[in-house]
Protein backbone atom coordinates (compact mmCIF):
# COMPACT_ATOMS: atom_id res chain seq x y z
CA UNK A 1 0.00 0.00 0.00
CA UNK A 2 2.77 2.31 1.05
CA UNK A 3 4.74 1.83 -2.11
CA UNK A 4 1.68 2.41 -4.24
CA UNK A 5 0.95 5.79 -2.66
CA UNK A 6 4.50 7.05 -3.08
CA UNK A 7 4.50 6.32 -6.81
CA UNK A 8 4.02 9.30 -8.96
CA UNK A 9 1.43 9.19 -11.72
CA UNK A 10 4.12 9.91 -14.30
CA UNK A 11 5.82 6.58 -13.47
CA UNK A 12 2.62 4.69 -14.04
CA UNK A 13 2.18 6.48 -17.28
CA UNK A 14 5.68 5.61 -18.53
CA UNK A 15 5.24 2.00 -17.52
CA UNK A 16 1.94 1.74 -19.30
CA UNK A 17 3.48 3.29 -22.39
CA UNK A 18 6.31 0.79 -22.30
CA UNK A 19 3.82 -2.02 -21.96
CA UNK A 20 1.76 -0.90 -24.94
CA UNK A 21 5.00 -0.54 -26.86
CA UNK A 22 5.72 -4.21 -26.21
CA UNK A 23 2.18 -5.29 -26.99
CA UNK A 24 1.97 -3.51 -30.33
CA UNK A 25 5.55 -4.22 -31.40
CA UNK A 26 5.79 -6.70 -34.22
CA UNK A 27 7.91 -9.83 -34.13
CA UNK A 28 10.98 -8.25 -35.73
CA UNK A 29 11.02 -5.33 -33.31
CA UNK A 30 10.85 -7.76 -30.39
CA UNK A 31 13.69 -9.80 -31.86
CA UNK A 32 15.77 -6.66 -32.29
CA UNK A 33 15.14 -5.55 -28.70
CA UNK A 34 16.11 -8.95 -27.38
CA UNK A 35 19.16 -9.17 -29.59
CA UNK A 36 20.31 -5.68 -28.55
CA UNK A 37 20.65 -6.82 -24.95
CA UNK A 38 23.18 -9.45 -25.97
CA UNK A 39 26.37 -7.31 -25.87
CA UNK A 40 28.77 -9.89 -27.22
CA UNK A 41 26.48 -10.76 -30.11
CA UNK A 42 26.05 -7.08 -30.94
CA UNK A 43 29.81 -6.65 -31.02
CA UNK A 44 30.20 -9.79 -33.12
CA UNK A 45 27.55 -8.46 -35.49
CA UNK A 46 29.53 -5.26 -35.88
CA UNK A 47 32.71 -7.20 -36.62
CA UNK A 48 30.84 -9.28 -39.20
CA UNK A 49 29.47 -6.16 -40.89
CA UNK A 50 32.96 -4.70 -40.88
CA UNK A 51 34.36 -7.83 -42.53
CA UNK A 52 31.74 -7.68 -45.28
CA UNK A 53 32.50 -3.98 -45.72
CA UNK A 54 36.17 -4.90 -46.15
CA UNK A 55 35.11 -7.48 -48.73
CA UNK A 56 33.05 -4.88 -50.61
CA UNK A 57 35.66 -2.13 -50.60
CA UNK A 58 38.79 -4.31 -50.76
CA UNK A 59 40.41 -2.23 -53.52
CA UNK A 60 40.03 0.95 -51.50
CA UNK A 61 41.09 -0.46 -48.12
CA UNK A 62 44.10 -2.45 -49.32
CA UNK A 63 47.30 -0.41 -49.73
CA UNK A 64 48.35 -2.42 -52.79
CA UNK A 65 46.68 -4.54 -55.45
CA UNK A 66 46.63 -8.27 -54.76
CA UNK A 67 49.15 -9.05 -57.48
CA UNK A 68 51.62 -6.21 -56.97
CA UNK A 69 55.03 -7.70 -56.32
CA UNK A 70 58.48 -6.39 -55.65
CA UNK A 71 61.55 -8.49 -56.34
CA UNK A 72 63.68 -6.38 -54.02
CA UNK A 73 61.45 -6.77 -50.96
CA UNK A 74 60.81 -10.49 -50.60
CA UNK A 75 59.99 -11.82 -47.12
CA UNK A 76 60.13 -8.31 -45.66
CA UNK A 77 59.14 -8.53 -41.96
CA UNK A 78 56.16 -6.48 -40.72
CA UNK A 79 56.91 -2.81 -40.12
CA UNK A 80 55.48 -1.21 -37.00
CA UNK A 81 53.86 2.16 -37.37
CA UNK A 82 55.68 4.79 -35.27
CA UNK A 83 53.31 7.63 -34.51
CA UNK A 84 55.85 10.21 -33.29
CA UNK A 85 59.29 11.24 -34.39
CA UNK A 86 61.95 12.85 -32.22
CA UNK A 87 63.40 15.96 -33.77
CA UNK A 88 65.65 18.66 -32.35
CA UNK A 89 62.55 20.61 -31.39
CA UNK A 90 61.09 17.68 -29.45
CA UNK A 91 58.51 15.09 -30.43
CA UNK A 92 56.29 15.71 -33.40
CA UNK A 93 53.33 13.79 -34.80
CA UNK A 94 54.65 12.03 -37.85
CA UNK A 95 53.28 8.52 -38.54
CA UNK A 96 55.96 6.53 -40.29
CA UNK A 97 57.68 3.18 -40.57
CA UNK A 98 61.38 2.48 -40.55
CA UNK A 99 63.20 1.29 -43.60
CA UNK A 100 65.31 -1.84 -43.85
CA UNK A 101 68.88 -2.57 -44.79
CA UNK A 102 69.66 -5.89 -46.40
CA UNK A 103 72.53 -7.85 -44.93
CA UNK A 104 73.90 -10.82 -46.79
CA UNK A 105 75.53 -13.50 -44.71
CA UNK A 106 79.00 -13.98 -46.25
CA UNK A 107 78.93 -17.74 -45.71
CA UNK A 108 75.39 -18.84 -46.50
CA UNK A 109 74.39 -15.88 -48.70
CA UNK A 110 71.21 -15.74 -46.68
CA UNK A 111 69.55 -12.35 -46.89
CA UNK A 112 68.36 -10.82 -43.65
CA UNK A 113 66.69 -7.49 -43.09
CA UNK A 114 67.92 -5.15 -40.39
CA UNK A 115 65.75 -2.25 -39.27
CA UNK A 116 67.35 1.02 -40.30
CA UNK A 117 66.07 3.87 -38.16
CA UNK A 118 67.76 6.43 -40.38
CA UNK A 119 65.29 5.84 -43.18
CA UNK A 120 61.66 6.67 -42.50
CA UNK A 121 58.69 6.30 -44.79
CA UNK A 122 55.66 8.45 -43.89
CA UNK A 123 52.35 6.60 -43.60
CA UNK A 124 48.97 8.25 -44.03
CA UNK A 125 45.27 7.74 -44.36
CA UNK A 126 43.46 8.42 -47.65
CA UNK A 127 46.64 8.44 -49.68
CA UNK A 128 47.14 8.35 -53.43
CA UNK A 129 48.52 5.09 -54.69
CA UNK A 130 48.01 2.54 -57.42
CA UNK A 131 45.00 3.04 -59.68
CA UNK A 132 42.17 0.55 -59.44
CA UNK A 133 38.65 0.06 -60.65
CA UNK A 134 36.04 -0.19 -57.93
CA UNK A 135 33.35 -2.70 -58.94
CA UNK A 136 34.35 -2.06 -62.53
CA UNK A 137 32.63 1.31 -62.38
CA UNK A 138 34.97 4.00 -61.10
CA UNK A 139 38.67 4.41 -61.64
CA UNK A 140 40.25 5.70 -58.45
CA UNK A 141 43.67 5.90 -56.86
CA UNK A 142 42.65 6.66 -53.29
CA UNK A 143 43.64 4.13 -50.60
CA UNK A 144 42.46 4.06 -47.00
CA UNK A 145 45.95 3.51 -45.66
CA UNK A 146 49.38 3.30 -47.22
CA UNK A 147 52.61 5.05 -47.96
CA UNK A 148 52.07 8.81 -48.04
CA UNK A 149 54.49 9.02 -50.95
CA UNK A 150 53.57 6.71 -53.77
CA UNK A 151 56.26 4.09 -54.25
CA UNK A 152 57.67 3.89 -50.72
CA UNK A 153 57.89 0.29 -49.50
CA UNK A 154 55.38 0.25 -46.65
CA UNK A 155 54.27 -3.26 -45.72
CA UNK A 156 52.53 -3.28 -42.34
CA UNK A 157 52.24 -7.08 -42.15
CA UNK A 158 55.30 -7.80 -44.28
CA UNK A 159 55.59 -9.45 -47.68
CA UNK A 160 55.61 -12.99 -49.02
CA UNK A 161 58.18 -14.80 -51.15
CA UNK A 162 57.38 -12.70 -54.22
CA UNK A 163 57.39 -9.45 -52.29
CA UNK A 164 53.61 -9.13 -52.31
CA UNK A 165 51.98 -7.21 -49.47
CA UNK A 166 50.46 -9.74 -47.02
CA UNK A 167 47.96 -7.26 -45.59
CA UNK A 168 46.61 -6.31 -49.01
CA UNK A 169 46.29 -9.91 -50.06
CA UNK A 170 44.48 -10.84 -46.85
CA UNK A 171 42.08 -7.94 -47.50
CA UNK A 172 41.41 -9.15 -51.04
CA UNK A 173 41.05 -12.68 -49.66
CA UNK A 174 38.18 -11.49 -47.45
CA UNK A 175 36.08 -11.06 -50.57
CA UNK A 176 36.36 -14.66 -51.71
CA UNK A 177 36.46 -16.33 -48.31
CA UNK A 178 33.48 -14.48 -46.86
CA UNK A 179 31.40 -14.87 -50.01
CA UNK A 180 32.08 -18.59 -50.37
CA UNK A 181 30.29 -18.95 -47.04
CA UNK A 182 27.34 -16.86 -48.19
CA UNK A 183 26.92 -18.50 -51.59
CA UNK A 184 27.41 -21.99 -50.17
CA UNK A 185 24.91 -21.40 -47.41
CA UNK A 186 22.49 -19.91 -49.95
CA UNK A 187 22.62 -23.13 -51.95
CA UNK A 188 22.32 -25.32 -48.86
CA UNK A 189 19.40 -23.21 -47.73
CA UNK A 190 17.51 -23.91 -50.95
CA UNK A 191 18.17 -27.65 -50.60
CA UNK A 192 17.52 -27.59 -46.86
CA UNK A 193 14.20 -25.73 -47.11
CA UNK A 194 12.86 -27.87 -49.95
CA UNK A 195 13.90 -31.24 -48.53
CA UNK A 196 13.42 -30.34 -44.86
CA UNK A 197 10.07 -28.77 -45.72
CA UNK A 198 8.83 -31.81 -47.60
CA UNK A 199 10.10 -34.04 -44.83
CA UNK A 200 8.45 -32.10 -42.05
CA UNK A 201 5.22 -31.19 -43.83
CA UNK A 202 4.28 -34.53 -45.35
CA UNK A 203 5.92 -36.90 -42.89
CA UNK A 204 5.48 -40.63 -43.32
CA UNK A 205 7.51 -42.63 -45.79
CA UNK A 206 9.11 -39.68 -47.59
CA UNK A 207 10.12 -38.18 -44.24
CA UNK A 208 11.70 -41.46 -43.25
CA UNK A 209 13.61 -41.64 -46.52
CA UNK A 210 14.95 -38.09 -46.29
CA UNK A 211 15.93 -38.60 -42.68
CA UNK A 212 17.91 -41.71 -43.58
CA UNK A 213 19.73 -39.82 -46.33
CA UNK A 214 20.56 -37.05 -43.87
CA UNK A 215 21.84 -39.59 -41.35
CA UNK A 216 24.07 -41.20 -43.94
CA UNK A 217 25.46 -37.85 -45.11
CA UNK A 218 26.13 -36.77 -41.55
CA UNK A 219 28.01 -39.93 -40.68
CA UNK A 220 30.41 -39.49 -43.61
CA UNK A 221 33.82 -37.99 -42.89
CA UNK A 222 33.36 -34.78 -44.82
CA UNK A 223 36.91 -33.74 -45.51
CA UNK A 224 38.08 -36.96 -47.23
CA UNK A 225 34.89 -36.82 -49.28
CA UNK A 226 35.42 -33.17 -50.19
CA UNK A 227 39.00 -33.99 -51.06
CA UNK A 228 37.84 -36.72 -53.42
CA UNK A 229 35.17 -34.59 -55.05
CA UNK A 230 37.27 -31.48 -55.47
CA UNK A 231 40.16 -33.51 -56.91
CA UNK A 232 37.77 -34.33 -59.71
CA UNK A 233 37.47 -30.66 -60.71
CA UNK A 234 39.45 -30.35 -63.95
CA UNK A 235 42.58 -28.24 -63.69
CA UNK A 236 41.68 -26.49 -66.92
CA UNK A 237 38.55 -24.85 -65.53
CA UNK A 238 38.59 -21.07 -65.18
CA UNK A 239 38.81 -19.80 -61.56
CA UNK A 240 35.21 -18.60 -61.44
CA UNK A 241 33.85 -22.00 -62.38
CA UNK A 242 36.12 -23.70 -59.82
CA UNK A 243 34.78 -21.26 -57.23
CA UNK A 244 31.20 -22.28 -57.97
CA UNK A 245 32.08 -25.95 -58.12
CA UNK A 246 33.64 -25.71 -54.66
CA UNK A 247 30.63 -23.92 -53.18
CA UNK A 248 28.31 -26.52 -54.70
CA UNK A 249 30.45 -29.29 -53.17
CA UNK A 250 30.39 -27.63 -49.77
CA UNK A 251 26.63 -27.18 -49.84
CA UNK A 252 25.99 -30.73 -51.05
CA UNK A 253 26.95 -31.92 -47.60
CA UNK A 254 26.20 -28.73 -45.69
CA UNK A 255 22.45 -28.70 -46.30
CA UNK A 256 21.68 -31.46 -43.80
CA UNK A 257 21.86 -29.31 -40.67
CA UNK A 258 19.55 -26.71 -42.19
CA UNK A 259 17.13 -29.38 -43.39
CA UNK A 260 16.91 -30.74 -39.85
CA UNK A 261 16.16 -27.30 -38.45
CA UNK A 262 13.47 -26.65 -41.08
CA UNK A 263 11.91 -30.07 -40.53
CA UNK A 264 11.75 -29.55 -36.79
CA UNK A 265 10.06 -26.17 -37.27
CA UNK A 266 7.55 -27.60 -39.74
CA UNK A 267 6.68 -30.43 -37.37
CA UNK A 268 5.98 -28.06 -34.52
CA UNK A 269 4.10 -25.50 -36.64
CA UNK A 270 1.91 -28.05 -38.43
CA UNK A 271 -0.33 -28.50 -35.42
CA UNK A 272 -0.58 -24.79 -34.56
CA UNK A 273 -4.10 -23.39 -34.62
CA UNK A 274 -3.47 -20.81 -37.31
CA UNK A 275 -2.20 -23.45 -39.72
CA UNK A 276 -5.17 -25.73 -39.07
CA UNK A 277 -7.50 -22.74 -39.51
CA UNK A 278 -5.92 -21.91 -42.84
CA UNK A 279 -6.27 -25.48 -43.98
CA UNK A 280 -9.93 -25.61 -42.95
CA UNK A 281 -10.49 -22.43 -44.93
CA UNK A 282 -9.34 -24.32 -48.00
CA UNK A 283 -6.09 -22.47 -48.56
CA UNK A 284 -3.82 -24.24 -51.03
CA UNK A 285 -0.90 -26.22 -49.58
CA UNK A 286 1.79 -24.12 -51.17
CA UNK A 287 0.17 -20.97 -49.90
CA UNK A 288 -0.11 -22.38 -46.39
CA UNK A 289 3.59 -23.09 -46.44
CA UNK A 290 4.73 -19.83 -47.99
CA UNK A 291 2.22 -17.43 -46.47
CA UNK A 292 1.64 -18.85 -43.02
CA UNK A 293 4.43 -21.18 -41.99
CA UNK A 294 7.61 -19.77 -43.53
CA UNK A 295 7.27 -16.25 -42.03
CA UNK A 296 7.04 -17.62 -38.52
CA UNK A 297 10.25 -19.58 -38.84
CA UNK A 298 12.32 -17.06 -40.78
CA UNK A 299 14.10 -15.82 -37.67
CA UNK A 300 15.16 -19.34 -36.72
CA UNK A 301 16.39 -19.98 -40.23
CA UNK A 302 18.42 -16.77 -40.23
CA UNK A 303 20.04 -17.88 -36.97
CA UNK A 304 20.97 -21.31 -38.28
CA UNK A 305 22.24 -19.83 -41.53
CA UNK A 306 24.56 -17.56 -39.57
CA UNK A 307 25.81 -20.56 -37.63
CA UNK A 308 26.35 -22.52 -40.86
CA UNK A 309 28.54 -19.92 -42.59
CA UNK A 310 31.64 -20.41 -40.36
CA UNK A 311 31.71 -24.12 -41.20
CA UNK A 312 31.77 -23.25 -44.90
CA UNK A 313 34.56 -20.71 -44.40
CA UNK A 314 36.62 -23.27 -42.49
CA UNK A 315 36.02 -25.93 -45.14
CA UNK A 316 37.01 -23.65 -48.01
CA UNK A 317 40.13 -22.58 -46.13
CA UNK A 318 41.11 -26.18 -45.44
CA UNK A 319 40.59 -27.33 -49.04
CA UNK A 320 42.40 -24.35 -50.56
CA UNK A 321 45.20 -24.75 -48.03
CA UNK A 322 45.76 -28.27 -49.34
CA UNK A 323 45.74 -27.02 -52.91
CA UNK A 324 42.60 -28.87 -53.96
CA UNK A 325 40.16 -26.04 -53.41
CA UNK A 326 40.53 -22.62 -54.95
CA UNK A 327 43.77 -22.03 -56.79
CA UNK A 328 45.89 -18.97 -57.49
CA UNK A 329 45.43 -16.41 -59.02
CA UNK A 330 42.22 -16.44 -56.95
CA UNK A 331 43.04 -14.92 -53.56
CA UNK A 332 41.30 -16.45 -50.56
CA UNK A 333 42.55 -16.94 -47.02
CA UNK A 334 43.09 -20.62 -47.68
CA UNK A 335 45.05 -19.91 -50.87
CA UNK A 336 47.21 -17.44 -48.93
CA UNK A 337 47.87 -19.99 -46.19
CA UNK A 338 49.28 -22.34 -48.82
CA UNK A 339 52.39 -20.15 -48.62
CA UNK A 340 52.76 -21.22 -44.99
CA UNK A 341 52.41 -24.93 -45.52
CA UNK A 342 55.48 -26.23 -43.76
CA UNK A 343 57.48 -25.36 -40.72
CA UNK A 344 60.41 -24.03 -42.72
CA UNK A 345 58.43 -21.29 -44.45
CA UNK A 346 56.76 -20.35 -41.16
CA UNK A 347 60.12 -20.19 -39.45
CA UNK A 348 61.42 -17.72 -42.04
CA UNK A 349 58.22 -15.70 -42.27
CA UNK A 350 55.75 -16.25 -39.40
CA UNK A 351 53.69 -13.27 -40.59
CA UNK A 352 52.43 -15.44 -43.45
CA UNK A 353 50.04 -16.92 -40.88
CA UNK A 354 48.19 -13.57 -40.73
CA UNK A 355 45.33 -14.76 -43.01
CA UNK A 356 44.78 -17.52 -40.43
CA UNK A 357 44.08 -14.82 -37.87
CA UNK A 358 41.47 -13.41 -40.25
CA UNK A 359 39.85 -16.84 -40.47
CA UNK A 360 39.72 -17.19 -36.68
CA UNK A 361 38.28 -13.69 -36.20
CA UNK A 362 35.59 -14.13 -38.83
CA UNK A 363 34.58 -17.57 -37.59
CA UNK A 364 34.45 -16.38 -33.98
CA UNK A 365 32.38 -13.33 -34.92
CA UNK A 366 29.87 -15.36 -36.93
CA UNK A 367 29.58 -17.96 -34.16
CA UNK A 368 28.84 -15.35 -31.50
CA UNK A 369 26.45 -13.52 -33.83
CA UNK A 370 24.62 -16.74 -34.64
CA UNK A 371 24.39 -17.63 -30.95
CA UNK A 372 22.85 -14.25 -30.17
CA UNK A 373 20.42 -14.51 -33.07
CA UNK A 374 19.35 -17.97 -31.97
CA UNK A 375 18.61 -16.71 -28.49
CA UNK A 376 16.65 -13.77 -29.91
CA UNK A 377 14.87 -15.76 -32.61
CA UNK A 378 11.94 -16.62 -30.40
CA UNK A 379 11.06 -13.36 -28.62
CA UNK A 380 7.78 -14.68 -27.23
CA UNK A 381 9.60 -17.26 -25.16
CA UNK A 382 10.89 -15.99 -21.86
Partner 1 sequence: MIWYIARRIIYLIPTLLIISVIAFAVIQLPPGDFLASLISKAEETVDQAQVDALRERYGLDEPIYVQYWKWISGIITRGDFGDSFEWNRPVSDLIWERLGLTMVISLFTLAFVWIVAIPIGIYSAVKKYTIGDYLVTIIGFIGLAIPNFLLALVLMYIAFRYFGQSVGGLFSPEYIEADWSLERALDLLSHLWLPVIILGTAGTAALIRVMRANLLDELSKLYVDAARARGLSELKLLFKYPVRVALNPLVSAMAWVFPALVSGSAITSIVLNLQTTGPLLYRSLQAQDMYLAGSLILLVSVLTIIGTLISDILLAWIDPRIQLQ
Question: Which ranges of 220-330 does DSSP label H, i.e. alpha helix?
Answer: 222-231, 239-270, 273-280, 285-287, 294-322
Distances in Å between the Cα of 330 and the Cα atoms of 9, 52, 66, 363 are 66, 18, 10, 21
Q: Does 227 bind partner 1 (CB under 8 A)?
A: yes
Q: Does 284 bind partner 1 (CB under 8 A)?
A: no
Q: Does 142 bind partner 1 (CB under 8 A)?
A: no
Q: Does 309 bind partner 1 (CB under 8 A)?
A: no
The side-by-side arrangement of strands in the sheet containing 138-147 is 82-87, 90-104, 111-134, 138-147
Pick from 52, 363, 375, 378: which binds partner 1 (CB under 8 A)? 363
- Spatial distance between the Cα atoms of 362 and 272, rounded to a whole number of angstroms: 38
Binding residues for partner 1, rule CB under 8 A, total 40
Which residue stretch of 92-100, 211-219, 272-280, 294-302 sits at the interface with partner 1 (rule: CB under 8 A)? 211-219
Q: Does 337 bind partner 1 (CB under 8 A)?
A: yes
Q: Does 364 bind partner 1 (CB under 8 A)?
A: yes
- Spatial distance between the Cα atoms of 43 and 131, rounded to a whole number of angstroms: 34
Pick from 7, 21, 218, 284: which binds partner 1 (CB under 8 A)? 218
- Spatial distance between the Cα atoms of 355 and 251, rounded to a whole number of angstroms: 23
Q: Does 71 bind partner 1 (CB under 8 A)?
A: no
Question: Which ranges of 203-237 does DSSP label H, i.e. alpha helix?
Answer: 204-219, 222-231
Q: Which sign, positive or negative, has the C-alpha torsion 38, 41, 47, 53? A: negative
Q: How far is the CB of 256 from partner 1 (least distance, A)?
A: 11
For residue 287, whether the previous peptide bond is cis, meaning omega lies within 30 degrees of 0, is no
* CB count in 10 Å sphere of residue 371: 17
Query: Would you call 262 helix, strand, or coil by DSSP?
Result: helix
Q: Does 381 bind partner 1 (CB under 8 A)?
A: no
Q: Which residues have CB under 8 Å from 336's CB, separation 6+?
A: 166, 169, 170, 173, 352, 355
Of 104 and 220, nearer to partner 1 (C-beta) is: 220
- 371 neighbors 43 (Cβ within 8 angstroms): no
Q: How far is the CB of 329 from partner 1 (least distance, A)?
A: 20
Of 275 and 376, nearer to partner 1 (C-beta) is: 376
Of 129 and 334, nearer to partner 1 (C-beta) is: 334
Of 199 and 317, nearer to partner 1 (C-beta) is: 317
Helices 39-56, 27-36: crossing angle, 10 deg rounding: 100
Q: Does 110 bind partner 1 (CB under 8 A)?
A: no
Of 119 and 361, nearer to partner 1 (C-beta) is: 361
Q: Does 341 bind partner 1 (CB under 8 A)?
A: yes
Q: Does 222 bind partner 1 (CB under 8 A)?
A: yes
Q: Does 324 bind partner 1 (CB under 8 A)?
A: yes
Nearest to 147 by CA among 130, 123, 128: 123
Pick from 9, 136, 204, 224: which binds partner 1 (CB under 8 A)? 224
Q: Does 296 bind partner 1 (CB under 8 A)?
A: no
Binding-site ranges for partner 1 (CB under 8 A): 212, 215-216, 218-225, 227-229, 231-232, 234, 310, 314, 317-318, 321-322, 324, 337, 340-343, 346-347, 350, 353, 356, 359-360, 363-364, 367-368
Amino acid sequence: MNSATTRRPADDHAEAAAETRIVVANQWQLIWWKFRKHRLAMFAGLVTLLLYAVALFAEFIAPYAAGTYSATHTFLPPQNIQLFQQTDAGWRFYPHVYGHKVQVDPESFKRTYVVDEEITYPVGLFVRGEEYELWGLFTLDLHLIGAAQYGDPVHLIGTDRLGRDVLSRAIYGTRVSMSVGLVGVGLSLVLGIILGGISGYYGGLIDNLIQRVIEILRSLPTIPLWMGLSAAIPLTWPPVRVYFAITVLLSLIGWTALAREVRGRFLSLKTEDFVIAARLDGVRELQIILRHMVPSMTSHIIASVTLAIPGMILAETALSFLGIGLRPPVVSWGVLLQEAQNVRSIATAPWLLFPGLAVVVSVLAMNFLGDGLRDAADPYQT
